[in-house]
Amino acid sequence: MSEEALVYVERNELRELFKTKLVNAGLPNYLADKTADLMIFADERGIHSHGSVRTQYYAERIAKKGLNLDPQFNFEQTGPSTGTYFGDNTVGHYVAYEAMEKAITLAEDSGIGMVGVKEIGHSGAIGYFAEQAAKRGMVALTVCQSDPMVVPFGGTEPYFGTNPIAFAAPRENGEPILFDMATTVQAWGKILDARSKNKSIPDTWAVDKNGEPTTDPFEVGALLPVAGPKGYGLMMMIDILSGSLLGLPFGKHVTSMYEDLSEYRRLGQFHIVINPAFFGDKDQFLKQVSEMVEELHAIKPAKGFDQVYYPGEIQEEVKAQYKESGIPVAQSIYDYLQSDDIY
């Protein structure tokens, strides 16, 4: 299959195109602004599965009222270090950000902040929220459920979602360490990105409707868990933390992302924030994380590698590269962004 041409777009222009499209679809300005922040966060780091490729989906769901455009938020602190944030089924990007702010405040006061995020739509690249805390000197872990599109290890029918997990930690000098992964071999957005560029995929990513490996992104019926039973176990853990623990739908009962775009999704997310100052010398902690990075960089690279990177470092290099070249966007998506079309 022949690959689609790419357009290279300056960061601020692309972010404004995202926001304008979402506002034109009906999303209030303050919600569109935070959603555009997360979309550009992903695209400018080369995480194209959660950037421009999602725009038309978001716009269509907004236009079809599958997201609440007049949400009423509520945060309930349930203990010295715990709380729940009710998102009223609007865009998850804004709600998860606000909930992380609450978790950070709890951690500042009591050493730990744990906030369950209830009833939201898709929240984008969740590494954004972990980094949000790390930039405030905190260690953070965030997990989020998604709808069933992954066959469990040993099975043939989808049950869990891609259920991502993100971890971030600050260090003495430089950007935080940021680890963000789906519990599948690749996120569903990688399939969408391959479709948008008309590119084939490795046969280890997904299976077709018959459960057979496929390299055609248009034939994907379900994704595969990363590392077999290990990824399967992680996605179950994440579903329990961000679904059942919060009294939300779980596993195969989670509302589909694509079947009915007029239906609320009721997704859950879970933030855990740790204040290093409550567990030891914070300055020493930051210094040790920086020393760890230096020692990793000093390791002799394996054949075919230039160096050992810390988690998130390659994305920072991509960000610097795109600052010079512009962010690559499929021509068809760029044309859509510039058009008056919603879907």
Report phi then psi at 143, rounded to 5.
Answer: -135, 155
Q: How far apart (Å, rounded) are the C-alpha atoms in residues 243 and 318?
A: 34
Instruction: Work out the burial of residue 157: count CB atoms within 10 Å of its CB; fewer than 13 is exposed, 13-18 middle, 19 or more buried.
Output: exposed
Using DSSP bridges, classify how beta strands 139-144 and 267-274 pair: parallel, antiparallel or unpaired.
antiparallel
Altogether, the residues listed in the chain come to a count of 343
Query: How many other CB atoms are found less than 10 A from the CB of residue 109?
Result: 13
- Give the CA angle between residues 109, 311, 279 to the nearest 5°: 25
Give the max Cα distance, the chain. Answer: 57
- DSSP-derived secondary structure for 56-82: HHHHHHHHTT-S-SS---EEEEEETTE
Active site residue 271: no
Q: Which of 50, 122, 271, 297 is catalytic?
A: 122
Quick one: 218 exposed, middle or buried, by C-beta within 10 A (0-12, 13-18, 19+)? exposed
- Evaluated on CA atoms 247, 125, 71, 21, the torsion sign reads negative
Cα-based distances in Å from 112 to 81, 84, 273, 288: 6, 14, 6, 21
Catalytic residues: 122
